[in-house]
Amino acid sequence: MMHPDRFRDKVMVVTGAAQGIGRGVALAAAAEDARLVLADRSPLVHEVAQETGAQPVVVEADLETWAGAAMLAARALEACGRIDVLVNNVGGTIWAKPYQAYEPDQIEAEIRRSLFPTLWCCRAVLPAMIAAQAGAIVNVSSVATRGIYRIPYSAAKGGINALTASLAMEHAQDGIRVNAVATGGTEAPPRKVPRNPEPPSAQEQAWYQGIVDQTKATSLMHRYGTIAEQVAAILFLASNEASYITGTVLPVGGGDQG
């Protein structure tokens, strides 16, 4: 059943909203009249808020910390009274290299970046969703759970898949649906805030090209997707069109199942 007013008056929290897929979700949801709460640790999120043409609540927060996630949930509830939808979009590979080339602190940084924001934000919004006996959570995962040169990132996204399945089992009784979109390689404008501020060496560029080549090779369509293709899947799972779907990881990688 199609719902032309899928998000009208729905309160949607979007993390990592300053650029890329998060920005795409924010703009598309605004066009469907969602009441948005946009979060990012970059002040660029204010520019996205202006792009929406709406008046979203904007929260600058470090979601790698519990304090940041708790503050985000509190601000959303204070401003909007409830949280109907949470889109967990923070994450992304910082380094590209064979596993044995990662330093221990780099491994920990990758896990903090790509797993903890989703863990913390799910925990932060759950009390309000349980009280409302309703809610939808969409976690952004990755088909890179099977891939080369980013093993810590793969492990973090595997953790998100496990979190998605288990949280869905635990809270279906509370009317809360939890799903994930496993994004494939996605064409996007150059990042305004790079994940790794250090310029890559020639070797690191070669390793990253290895990721690109593997991503295209394992996609049946042999191409990268677009931000719009990822956004469409995320908003479908966030909407009542997916009312009988929970605990599911939907690969959006041109046939790469992750």
What is the DSSP-derived secondary structure letter of residue 240?
G
Residue 217 CB contacts under 8 Å (≥ 6 apart), including other chains: none
- The CA-CA-CA angle for residues 230, 231, 235, to 5°, reads 125
- Helix, strand, or coil (residue 17): coil
For residue 119, the one-letter residue type is L
Cα separation, 255 vs 258, whole angstroms: 9
- Indicate if 153 belongs to the active site: yes
Q: Which residues are 252's β-sheet partners? A: 183
- The CA-CA-CA angle for residues 72, 75, 76, to 5°, reads 85
Could you tell me which of 241, 238, 40 has the C-alpha nearest to residue 136?
Answer: 238
Q: Which residue has the tokens 């202006």?
A: 50
> Cα-flanking dihedrals φ and ψ of residue 150, to 5°?
-155, 55
* Catalytic residue chosen out of the listed positions 102, 149, 153, 244: 153
- The CA-CA-CA angle for residues 3, 6, 59, to 5°, reads 170
Neighbour order of strands in the sheet with 249-252: 57-60, 35-40, 11-15, 85-88, 135-142, 176-183, 249-252
Please answer whether residues 238 and 87 qualify as being in contact, where contact means their C-beta atoms are separated by less than 8 angstroms. Answer: yes
Please answer whether residues 132 and 139 qualify as being in contact, where contact means their C-beta atoms are separated by less than 8 angstroms. Answer: no
The kind and range of the H/E element at 233 are helix 227-238
Query: Which are the catalytic amino acids?
Result: 153
